[in-house]
Every structure is written in structure tokens, then in C-alpha cells.
Structure 1
Amino acid sequence: MRFLHCSDVHITADYFSLPFMRLGWRRWVAMAELSVGGRKKAYARAPETLAAIASDAEQQGVDHFILSGDVTAYALDPEFQMARESLGALAEDPGRCTVIPGNHDVFTPGSHRKGRFARHFGHLLESDLPEYRREGAFPFVRLVGKEAAVVGLLSARVPSLPGIAHGYIGPAQLEGLAALVKDPRLDGRAVLVAVHHAPLTLRGRADSYFHGLRDAEALFRLIPGPRFAVLHGHIHKRYHHPSTAQRPHIFSAGSSTQLGREGYWVIEVKDGQVVGGQKHVPGGALN
């Protein structure tokens, strides 16, 4: 079985054409990142690149498509809408597609309060085993074929200030995950856990206090070994740390639509184990 994993696609509206006062102060600060920081240019073609990645998933016949958060630049409705349009038919089918929110998708208290992510992608948070939900829709699980399951966790929290971007899963979801992985209906299945924040950096270390996944070690204790993988984004670099006796495989999809760094993983599952992955660029070619 094969799973396509992408992340941090950052579909970006034209902020400079929008009513300034309605954007709110958090987005006013972020507009410096768009202009001086170069993000507007880096993600100018993000909708087309995401559509190309979705097309690759269709043409390659992958079993499931996973987008591990940061669908948008700063959680505007038009950005969510463009992302859903770019995904096309994939976004209509929970059996084929999983999308979870990243910190940019809950960038303001208003976007979180209004359920903006759920308005566009909530149907993809359905669970085949809903009895394990502990925090809203999370954790949810999708049984894929007879060999795998995809689990979605929520680590994205409304930041107190722009630039504060750490995440945490929390004890309730972790308790649900602990019970879930013991369910006999998951016996013999590889379990791919999608969470936005990175449990380890490229160098195999914990990320910084204000950027990392704060309960990564608690997550590792529940899912060690080659049967399990954590699929994440947040760090805009693409890498893989193989599993050990103490932790699962870790796949960072980087920023899949960023100009000059476009790409994604195709992850292989065989006999209920995660056996590796290959980096691809849009258009199906290997990196």
C-alpha cells in the first residue's frame, strides 16, 4: 500500500487587496512576513502546485492522501476554499483523503471560534472508530484496506502572539490514542499518525520551546517501532527518521508548495509495517 504525504501548502490570499481593518492586528503583523519576508512570492503558485500533487495521487493510484496541516497562510475563508478546489475530487472522500489543521489554520481566535477549518474540511475528520474521540473530532481513525490505519491528532492551538507556534496534543487525545492502538480492529495494521507539529527536527532533536511539539516523548511511548509512523509538517524541510525500539518512523513533508522546495513523500506499507518512503516532486518524478 502507498500513502502520499504533503504538508504546509500555505494557500495565500491577496492580502494587500483586502480591507485592512477587517484583517485584524495579527494579520497586520503577518503581512510583513508576506512582503519583506518573501512569503507572498514563495507561495504565489501554491494552488496550482497543490492541484498537481493531487493529480499525482490520482495518477499513481496511492491508497490514501494525507495533508498534515497549514493548509492556509493565515486562516481566511478564501484560502480554505482555494485549497479545497485545488484538491478536487480527493477532498470529497474521507476514505481517500485526510487533512488536519496546522497552526496557520487557527491563526486568530476568530478563525478558531467560527470553526473555519471545519467548515471546509470537517467532513474529512470522520472516524471509523468514533468511540476513541476525546477532543472534538480527535483522535479520529480511518481504516485503509486491510493493512493500514490513518490516525489524525490535533496539535495546532491558537497562538497567543504571532511567532509563538508551539503545539501540544494533550492528555485527553493521548489517552484516546493509547486505547485506540490496543483495539483488536487495528491488529496487523500499520498505523500512520498525522499531527502538524514536528516531534523531532532534521537533526533528530526536539524543536525549540516556542515552535516544537511539547508532548512528543509521550506520543513516542505509545507508538514505538516499525509498525507506526508520525507524519508531520511545520518545519519546512523534508526528512525521514527511521523507527527504533523507542520511537516510530518520522516523516516530515516540509513545505510541499514552497517555490524551489516543492515535493512530498510516498510512504510504503507492507505486511502491516511501514517499510520506507520516497521523495517526489509534483509531476510524479523522484527527487
Structure 2
Amino acid sequence: MRFLHCSDVHITEDYFALPLRKLGWRRWVALVELTAGGRAKAYRNAQATLSAIARDAGTHGVDHFILSGDLTAYALEGEFRAARAALGPLASTPARCTVIPGNHDVFTPGAARSGRFARHFGDLLESDLPDYRREGAFPFVRLVGEGAAVVGLCSARPLPTPGLSYGSVGQAQLEGLAALLKDARLDGRAILVVVHHAPKSPANHADGWHHGLHDADALLKLLPGPRFAVLHGHIHQRYHHPATQDRPHLFGAGSSTQAGKEGYWLIEVQDGLVVGGTKHVPAL
């Protein structure tokens, strides 16, 4: 079986064409990152790049498409609409596509309170095993064929101020995941757990406190060995830490649409195990 994993696509509106008073102070601060930081230029073609990645899923005979968060630059309605449009037919059914939110998708308290992500992607949060939900839609489960399951977690939460971008899965979701893993319907399946924040950095260390997944160790303890993989984004580097006896595979896929660094993972599952992955560049 084959899975396409991309992340941190950051579809970006033209912020200077929008009324500043409607953006809110958090996005005013973010304008510095868009301009001086070069983010607007880096993601100018993000929608077209995501569309190309979605088309590649068909070219490569992918069984399931996974996007591990940060669909938007700063959680505007138009950015969510454009991300959904870029995915095209892939997003028409949960059987083919898993999408979870990232910290940029809950960038403002208003976006989080109004459930903006769920308004555009809530149909993709359906679960084949809904009894294990503990926090809203999460964890949700997608049974893929006879040999794999995809589990979606949410680590993205509104934070007090821009500049902080840490996350946590939380005890409720971890308890739901632990219970789920004992379900006999998952026996013999590889388990791909999708979360936005990175359990480990490219150097195989914990990420910084202000940026990292605060309960990474608790998550990894539940997923020992090559039957399991954690698919994440957040850190804008593409890397793979192979599984050990005590830890799952870790695949970081960010950022899939950044100009000059476009790409994604094709992850292979065989006989109920995650056997590896290869990096690919979209056919733009």
C-alpha cells in the first residue's frame, strides 16, 4: 500500500488587498513575517503546488492522501476555501483523504471558536471507529484496505500570542489512542498516526519549548516499532527517522509548497508494517 504525505502548504491570501481592521492584531504582527520574513513570496504559488501534489497522488497509485496541517497562512476563510479547491476530487471522501489542522489553522481565537477548519474540512474528520473519540472529532480512524489504518490527532490549539507555536495532543486524546490500539479490528494493520507538531527535530532531539510537541514522549511510548509511523509537519524540513524497537517511524513533510523546496513523501506499507518512504517533487 502507498500513502502520500504532505504538510504545511500555507495557502496565502493577498493580505494587502484586505481591510486591515478586519485582520485583527495577531495578523497585523504576522504581516512582518509575510513581508520582511519573505513568507508571502515563498508561498505565492502554494495553491497551484498543492493542486500538483494532489494530481501526483493519481500518478503514483496512492491508496490514501495525508495532509498534516497548516493548510493556511493565518486561518482566513479565503485560504481555507482555496486549500479545499486545490485538493479537488481527493477531498470528496474520507476514504481517500485525511486532513488535520495545524497551528496556523487556529491562528486567531476567532478562527478556533468559530470552527473555521471544521467548516471547510469537517467531512474529512469522520471516523470508522467513532467510539474512541475523546476531544471533538479526535482521535479519528480511517481503515485503509486490509493492511493499514490512519489515525488523526489534533495538537493545534490557540495560543496567547504570535511567536509561540507549541502544541499538545492532550491526555484525553492519548487515552483514546491507547484504547483504540487495543481494538482487534486493527490487528495486522500498520498504524499511521497523523499529528501536526513534530515529536522530534531533524537532529532527532526534542523541538524547542516554544515550538515543540509538549507531550511527544507520551505519544511515542504508545507506538513502538515498525508497525507504527507518526506523520507530522510544523518544522519546515523533510526528514525521516526510521523506527526502532521502542519508537515508530517519524516522517516530517514540511513544507511541501515552499518555493524551491517543494515536495512530499510516498510511504510504503507491506504486510502490516511501514517499510519506508521516498521523497518526491511535484510535477509543476
TM-score by length of 2: 0.99
Deviation of the 1:246 alpha carbon:
1.5
Q: How far does the alpha carbon of each residue in 1:22-77 deviate from its partner, in whole angstroms, 9 at most, with x for none? A: 10000000001000000000000000000000000022220000000000000000
Q: 1-side partners of 2:194 and 2:221: how far apart?
A: 16
Equivalent residues in 2 for 1:215-230, closer than 5 Å: 215-230=215-230
Q: Structure 2, unaligned stretches of length 5 or more?
A: none
Q: 1-side partners of 2:59 and 2:92: how far apart?
A: 17
Q: Structure 1, unaligned stretches of length 5 or more?
A: none
Equivalent residues in 2 for 1:155-174, closer than 5 Å: 155-174=155-174
Tell me, what secondary structure is at the counterpart of 2:204? coil
Q: 2-side partners of 1:136 and 1:195: how far apart?
A: 15
TM-score by length of 1: 0.98
Deviation of the 1:93 alpha carbon:
1.0
**Hey, what does 2:45 align to over in structure 1?**
45
Percent sequence identity is 72
Equivalent residues in 2 for 1:67-216, closer than 5 Å: 67-216=67-216
Deviation of the 1:13 alpha carbon:
0.3
Q: How many residues align?
A: 284
Q: How far does the alpha carbon of each residue in 1:227-285 deviate from its partner, in whole angstroms, 9 at most, with x for none? A: 0000000000000000011210000002000001100000000000000000000029x
Kindly report structure 1 stretches of 4+ aligned residues shifted beyond 6 Å: none
Tell me, what secondary structure is at the counterpart of 2:192? strand
Q: 1-side partners of 2:96 and 2:61: how far apart?
A: 10
AA aligned opposite 1:235: I
Tell me, what secondary structure is at the counterpart of 1:40? helix
Tell me, what secondary structure is at the counterpart of 1:275? strand
**Hey, what does 2:242 align to over in structure 1?**
242
AA aligned opposite 1:177: L
- RMSD between superposed Cα atoms in Å: 0.7
Deviation of the 1:159 alpha carbon:
1.6
AA aligned opposite 1:244: T
Q: 1-side partners of 2:131 and 2:176: how far apart?
A: 9
AA aligned opposite 2:15: Y
Q: 2-side partners of 1:78 and 1:159: how far apart?
A: 22
AA aligned opposite 1:4: L
